[in-house]
Amino acid sequence: MKKAFDTPWKITNRFYSSITLPYVRFLFALNNIPWGRDWRFLGIPIIQKHRLSSIKFGPGLNLRSTVRSNPLGPNHPVILSTLRAEACLEIGESFAMTGGTLCAAEMITIGNRVALGANAIIVDTDFHPLDPARRLMRPNDGETAPVIIEDEVFIGMNSLILKGVTIGQGSVIGAGSVVTHDVPKHVIVAGNPARIIRSL
């Protein structure tokens, strides 16, 4: 009772979660995303899934999609997107995310016990070609390369993880970082472009 008195916004969050959960379940079923154990949602994520792609989550999923769900104030709901046929978004157990975007044109693989801070974005595509002539002819034909996030990685708020990046187990990405190259295991990286700050 004391906890509820001290943090009343959590009661509101739980109530909102309970009334929106049936719609979230329907949304996942509509997009052919298998439902898992011990999933928690605050708000309704946005799902933009290509019919011939796949999205899979392990148990313990926790997605926060409302501005009131986190003191950092996500600026939009969680967005889960697969752009092309055969694209794959596969995520392990105990994944947590507040706002932000996961967008796969080819493949994004995320391990177990990974957390994304508010408004972090992971994409495996440039979206648009860099060459102007190609961009004019085929505007959505940007280069792609798989993204791999290993177990127990923490990605700070407002970070951007770009195509072709592997982040090693247990590493931490500082808030606001832009990650363009692989990150080894058990380090802290930060900056734009992100560089190693120190080992963990």
Q: What b-and-e string marks burial along 76-86, b requiring 16 or more CB atoms within 10 Å of the CB?
A: ebbbbbbbeee
Quote the pLDDT of residue 37. Answer: 96
> What global pTM score does this model have?
0.90
Strands 154-155 vs 172-173: parallel, antiparallel or unpaired: parallel
For residue 40, the enclosing domain spans 2-199
Quote the pLDDT of residue 16. Answer: 75
- For the domain that residue 125 is a member of, what is the CATH number? 2.160.10.10
Query: Which residues are within 8 A (CB) of 50 and not within 5 positions of it... i.e. 6 or more apart?
Result: 82, 83, 84, 85, 87
Quote the pLDDT of residue 4. Answer: 55
Quote the pLDDT of residue 5. Answer: 62
**Nearest-angstrom CA–CA distance, 81 and 48:** 5
* Rounded (10°) CA dihedral 57, 62, 66, 70: -140
Quote the pLDDT of residue 100. Answer: 96
Quote the pLDDT of residue 118. Answer: 96
Quote the pLDDT of residue 3. Answer: 57
Structural domains of the chain, count: 1
Q: Active site residue: 50, 76, 128, 186, which one?
A: 128
Q: Does residue 76 have an active-site annotation?
A: no
How do the pLDDT tens digits run along the chain, 200 residues long? 555 567 777 777 787 788 899 999 999 999 999 999 999 999 999 999 999 999 999 999 999 998 887 778 888 999 999 999 999 999 999 999 999 999 999 999 999 999 999 999 999 999 887 878 887 788 777 889 999 999 999 999 999 999 999 999 999 999 999 999 999 999 999 999 999 999 99
